[in-house]
């Protein structure tokens, strides 16, 4: 389906509750599956992405029951030691995350499983997670020397690992933690820079334990996990779209509700404040993941150079920040973001190509880009290569452009933000599916 966006001539006003956090929703399913007993989840992201993980854990013999709304789930599991060998291929859909995390979960199980996915996923290399798991003793076979899906894993009998990640990646750290939890002995996992810590926060809630010394996590197995309740906050990576729309449209005053403000996820908010944005939130004391209502009021902004060590704390928000940078005075420079080249698309080249169609002044760098503002944008008819974050970035660009914007084949938005158009419309925008 196509998404059409009209230029926004009035301020965006009101409150919005975005979809549940994708990273935390995936982890609630994986931990709920590994834990013995019953786990309940509220605020779950009922997007296509999470359904791939849901179907995969079901294939392992776990029962997942949808509650009264799509955002609530009950998971019943015999615990990871009793997982069944899946009778068929595990279809991981588009997200690299389902496959990476599942590889970690399956690496210690004494059976064979084959993971595949759609064409986008089958192009994405998995060596970075496969290699350390092979080092632990898992056997992984697949195309291109065991790096491209379909991937078959024969797990079991792992040795602990002492691993230093070559790049900061929460997915790889988490996959290794899931394997280490099931492996006799102590494993250590060291990151070069901090990345999102949702796995670390969730593990103790399920009765598990680890210790942390700077950037090194120590985790001993095997551990017994038990079911619990998980409350998923709204995803800051999705909230980023209405948030930046409000910062781009003069006169706007928008509050985004129950947004996850875990310190390892708020690199975007720090950057926006440096650009001069008027953002306020109070973080209530919470056990587990902190969440807050964020109020955003329009104000003219200036460009900024984002320090490379902050990139892992805002990796998924970089494309939408580039849209805002076109409306900020001066240069906004992104470096140290080469990781973006292996996301749902090559988010560096594709973003540069996309924003130029709107008339943006953007220059590609090997590890990021430079946007020079302030530049008036004009509406465009664009494709987004099946990448949900690029599709939503184009929609926000359309709001601040003159003339109509059409995003062709924008269905990928459903993977992370079902209700995206309705959310913007609720704030006063004109956005339609056709």
- Cα 187 to the center of its chain, rounded Å: 26
Cβ distance 16 to 256 under 8 Å? yes
Residues in 87-106 that interact with ligand S3P by CB under 6 A:
97
The verdict on 171 binding ligand S3P (CB under 6 A) reads yes
Q: Is 316 a catalytic residue?
A: yes
Cα atoms in the 13 Å half-sphere on the side-chain side of 135: 14
Q: How many CB atoms lie within 10 A of CB 341?
A: 14
Measured from the CB atom, the residue of 242 and 312 that comes closer to ligand S3P is 312
User: Which H/E stretch holds residue 295?
Assistant: strand 291-297
Measured from the CB atom, the residue of 173 and 405 that comes closer to ligand S3P is 173
Q: Is the dihedral of CA 2, 391, 16, 14 positive or negative?
A: negative
In angstroms, the CA 237 to CA 23 distance is 10
Query: What mask, x for binding ligand S3P by CB under 6 A, covers residues 182 to 211?
Result: -------------xx---------------
Measured from the CB atom, the residue of 129 and 399 that comes closer to ligand S3P is 129
Segment interacting with ligand S3P (CB under 6 A) among 169-177, 224-232, 291-299, 405-413: 169-177
Residues in 278-337 that interact with ligand S3P by CB under 6 A:
312, 315-316
How many residues at the interface with ligand S3P, by CB under 6 A?
13
In angstroms, the CA 406 to CA 432 distance is 10
- Rounded to a whole number of angstroms, the minimum distance from the CB of residue 406 to ligand S3P is 26
Measured from the CB atom, the residue of 172 and 246 that comes closer to ligand S3P is 172
The distance in angstroms from the start CA to the end CA of the chain is 6
Query: What mask, x for binding ligand S3P by CB under 6 A, covers residues 359 to 398?
Result: ----------------------------------------
- Rounded to a whole number of angstroms, the minimum distance from the CB of residue 335 to ligand S3P is 16
Taking alpha carbons only, the member of 328, 259, 321 closest to residue 299 is: 328
Query: Which residues are bridge partners to 332 per DSSP?
Result: 371
C-alpha dihedral (180, 116, 320, 339), degrees to nearest 10: 50
The verdict on 223 binding ligand S3P (CB under 6 A) reads no
Q: State both tokens at 177.
A: 């933690």
The verdict on 415 binding ligand S3P (CB under 6 A) reads no
Query: Which of 21, 91, 235, 316 is the catalytic position?
Result: 316
Among 49, 91, 235, 339, binds ligand S3P (CB under 6 A): 339
Contacts of 25 (CB under 8 A, 6+ apart): 41, 44, 45, 50, 232
Segment interacting with ligand S3P (CB under 6 A) among 70-78, 132-140, 164-172, 372-380: 164-172
Give the residues lining the site for ligand S3P (CB under 6 A).
23, 97, 169-172, 174, 195-196, 312, 315-316, 339
* Residues that are catalytic: 316
């Amino acid at each position: 389906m196509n998404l059409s966006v009209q230029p926004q001539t009035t301020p965006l006003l009101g409150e919005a509750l975005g979809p549940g956090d994708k990273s935390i929703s995936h982890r609630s399913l994986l931990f709920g599956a590994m834990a013995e007993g019953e786990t309940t989840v509220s605020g779950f992201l009922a997007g296509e992405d999470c359904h791939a993980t849901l179907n995969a854990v079901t294939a392992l013999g776990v029962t997942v029951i949808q509650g009264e709304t799509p955002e609530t789930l009950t998971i019943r599991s015999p615990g990871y030691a009793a997982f069944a060998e899946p009778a068929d291929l595990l279809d991981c859909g588009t997200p690299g995350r389902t496959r990476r995390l599942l590889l970690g979960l399956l690496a210690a199980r004494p059976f064979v499983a084959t993971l595949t996915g759609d064409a986008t996923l089958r192009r994405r290399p998995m060596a970075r997670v496969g290699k350390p798991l092979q080092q632990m003793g898992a056997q992984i076979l697949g195309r291109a020397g065991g790096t491209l899906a379909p991937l078959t894993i024969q797990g079991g009998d792992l040795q602990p690992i002492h691993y230093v990640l070559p790049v900061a990646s929460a997915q790889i750290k988490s996959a290794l933690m899931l394997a280490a939890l099931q492996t006799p002995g102590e494993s250590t996992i060291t990151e070069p820079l901090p990345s999102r810590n949702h796995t670390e926060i969730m593990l103790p809630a399920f009765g598990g334990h680890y210790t942390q010394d700077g950037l090194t996590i120590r985790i001993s197995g095997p551990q017994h996990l038990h079911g619990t309740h998980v409350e998923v906050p709204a995803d800051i990576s999705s909230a980023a779209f209405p948030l930046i729309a409000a910062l781009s449209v003069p006169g706007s005053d928008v509050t985004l509700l129950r947004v996850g403000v875990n310190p390892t996820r708020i690199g975007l908010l720090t950057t926006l404040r440096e650009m001069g944005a008027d953002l306020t939130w109070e973080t209530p004391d919470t056990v587990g993941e902190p969440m807050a209502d964020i109020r955003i009021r329009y104000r003219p902004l200036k460009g900024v150079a984002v320090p490379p060590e902050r990139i892992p704390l805002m990796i998924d928000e970089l494309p939408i920040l580039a849209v805002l940078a076109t409306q900020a005075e001066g240069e906004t420079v992104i470096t140290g973001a080469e990781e973006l080249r292996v996301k749902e698309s090559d988010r560096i080249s594709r973003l540069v190509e996309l924003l130029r169609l709107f008339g943006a002044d953007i220059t590609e760098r090997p590890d990021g880009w430079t946007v020079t503002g302030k530049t008036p944008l004009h509406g465009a008819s664009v494709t987004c290569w099946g990448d949900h974050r690029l599709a939503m970035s184009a929609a926000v660009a359309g709001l601040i452009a003159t003339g109509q914007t059409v995003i062709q084949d924008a269905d990928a938005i459903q993977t992370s933000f079902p209700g995206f158009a309705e959310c913007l419309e609720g704030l006063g925008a004109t956005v339609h599916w056709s």
